[in-house]
Structure 1
Amino acid sequence: MATIDISADTFETTITGNDIVLVDFWAEWCGPCKRFGPIYEKSSEQHSDVVYAKLDTDANQQLSGQLGIEGIPTLMAFREGVMVFNQAGALPGPALEQVIDAVKKLDMDEVHAQVEKLQAEHGDHDHADHQH
């Protein structure tokens, strides 16, 4: 499967509508983004069960800001709607494969339990004094 271009309008539905979604945050002027592009594209052809999305940070500045994107390229991985990986910088091919393997091997029951626990904790009291 090839990569798909997404925008702020399609970001949420792409993530919630698919099991595993990788999002490459990039911009036209970014040299490392251009070098990462072919690696990302090649990987997309090897994993038909993963959605490879690309989001242009220049065209989607508000969403990029909300997600805390500070450097590009940034790669995020989502599984069952939960962000499970977030790293700035262009990954070499083998490192990208490691990320995909790790995401595929996640115990999502455990991940969802952790998310629910965090949400419950945040609902109970202020967490400013705790580090995560």
Structure 2
Amino acid sequence: MSLIELNKDTFQDAITEGGTVIIDFWAPWCGPCKNFGPVFEQAAEKHEGITFAKVNTDEQQELAGALGIRSIPTLMAFREKVLLFSQPGALSAGQFEELIGKIQEVDMADVHKQIAEAQTPASENNAS
């Protein structure tokens, strides 16, 4: 099982290692967070090739603020350093499994190509 705690010092390293990282932003007082916690942990046990991380927003207010976390729980999913999913709200086990499958199915070569094209100035795109 790959389940880690992240903080402002470890967050960037975790998402730049290149694999899939799914992050649960939570707080100890949050009822929906408590309900989603076991779902998240079961998925972490089931999916060995994915890093599952938790961020306690009470302890990591600076990190949560920098990432625009306004509601908890919030899930974020990164793959190959690219944010593919960010949404507040707890998911059922079935919804979470579906999300994990969709994240793993994304054609990252195409995503990186689209990012590169978006970063290329329009004058270069029109040059032939």
Q: TM-score, normalised by structure 2?
A: 0.90
2:17 corresponds in structure 1 to 17
**SS of residue paired to 1:9:** coil
1:99 corresponds in structure 2 to 99
Provide the C-alpha distance between the structure 2 equivalents of 1:69 and 1:61, rounded to a whole number of angstroms: 9
In percent, how many aligned pairs have the same letter?
A: 47
Q: Can you list the C-alpha shifts for 1:15-59, whole angstroms capped at 9, x where unaligned?
A: 111410000000111110010000000011110000000001111
* Structure number, greater radius of gyration: 2
Q: 1:57 to 1:33 in 2, by over 3 A?
A: same
Provide the C-alpha distance between the structure 2 equivalents of 1:62 and 1:117, rounded to a whole number of angstroms: 32
Does the CA-based 8 Å contact 1:21-1:79 persist in structure 2?
yes
Provide the C-alpha distance between the structure 2 equivalents of 1:48 and 1:119, rounded to a whole number of angstroms: 34
| Aligned-residue CA RMSD (Å) | 1.7
Structure 2's unaligned 5+ residue stretches are 123-128
What is the letter of the counterpart of residue 56 of structure 2?
D
Q: How does 1:1-132 map to 2 (within 5 A)?
A: 1-120=1-120
Structure 1's unaligned 5+ residue stretches are 123-132
Report how many residues are paired. 123
Does the CA-based 8 Å contact 1:19-1:50 persist in structure 2?
yes
Does the CA-based 8 Å contact 1:2-1:41 persist in structure 2?
no
Q: Can you list the C-alpha shifts for 1:73-116, whole angstroms capped at 9, x where unaligned?
A: 00000000110011100010011001110111110011112222
Q: TM-score, normalised by structure 1?
A: 0.87
What is the letter of the counterpart of residue 10 of structure 2?
T
